[in-house]
Structure 1
């Protein structure tokens, strides 16, 4: 017999008869009439070439073949039911799984401490992984389910993705405390005279800062160029360099590395940091919970509603 020859509802009715042993009770449980149950049983008898259930004064008694069939059918239906309802029963406190979020090194510095701490309290069985949100295959990895969320400036995630804004932030100048520019206000002349650390963060919106400064005609003395932000705190701590960085990164690095920051003397556009997720997990309870956790921790109160990108 092929699976295409049988209706799943017929197997559900078979299992109900194995449990209840009465046509009237099965009809009540499934919301059917008694003749409908009898008709389905007749179809099953023809399909299997066996009576399956015999009428007796004590109810419907299964034949030896029906008893032999009951275990694999029950197991199969249980597995199907579990697969269809596992998301509905999602419980962060008891679930054991891995979660992967795409983010930059800035994101790891800004988001991970609070996120890991919250997960350890609310979902101790969840293991958190990060991947670079600049990866060329990020779109495919999110579509396939390998990456659950992505955070940052990601114009490449458009059709098929949802997004929600976490916050907007400005760029500031970051430097060691006691630096010559460490005063109440940083002038454009002081900015031009200082030596600079430039971060070329390829594939992110932050990499456009240098282009914007050049367009504004602002010349700098660039002493050091690095490809990422992760070493900025260490470098500034022991040098007289000045770096242009997002404000939230400056806030995270200031105290641990003895740094100070001031508003940027050049008018630069604010950047929007968004959370992205694929449409296929939009209604997933697990992904909804993860998104709500990120929103709760990091939105600034002015976030925009969910929308397709």
Structure 2
């Protein structure tokens, strides 16, 4: 499966397993979603389980909060992550706080799916990476898969979770992984080992990172598309780096990160979002606090730029082989 098919499979399975699961969002029903992640699900499960909504992100998320409190398990789709901002008050003030403010009388078991990041020349309103906004909010969980196999298992675990989850799907790798050297996928997912996705139910617990590549020279922390970019650059430079795919930003698997950095003594953080207040800043602080006496060089970050998202120059905006290569040289020079 590619990532789109894996997500579709996860949604199909959860609709079959749990009658309380509801899919809702703009164009997700008859049309099957702008990226076709929900294709065929309305026809199979009916219009009361998979239905279209008005163009109102505040209304979509607000309705999902109420559905969750009532006992349903809604999975709203926000068509692009850039569109999530009108609904952010519902996520922060209602969904994230409902369990605490009601003394656990009510919960908000909703999973907000949304494509995020660049890679389709969508410009400023279709390409943003707002993940750090949600990792700042107590009560929300933030999940970002990097492979079809992980996407299915993590999405199932998210839907089964009793707290609200933000599930960001890196649309740049929906159909195949990028390596950062070219503006086209290096191969379709069908030729990648992580495209072997079981058709049946399985889950990957939230809060568990994955060691994508073992190594001794330094540790790379990445998620989503940047896992593939970092791996390609590391292998191009022929360095013995350990690459960790975080998979979930919150809850964060700090134990795996700490063990790796203490082993390698060096750390490189790569993400697509802007540098200032990006999630890499939190990672850097955590590594500094927990691994200070094991570090042999300053922590390096390679990120997007602190600028509005560039439409025609998006490929220069992404962390790629030049900037990641320079960070690697800096890490290893001492």
**Fold match by TM threshold 0.5:** no
Question: Greater share of strand residues, 1 or 2?
Answer: 1
Q: Which has the higher contact order (CA 8 A, sep 6+)?
A: 1
Instruction: Return the TM-score normalized by structure 1.
Output: 0.29
What is the TM-score normalised by the length of structure 2?
A: 0.27
In our comparison, the structure showing a higher alpha carbon Rg is 1
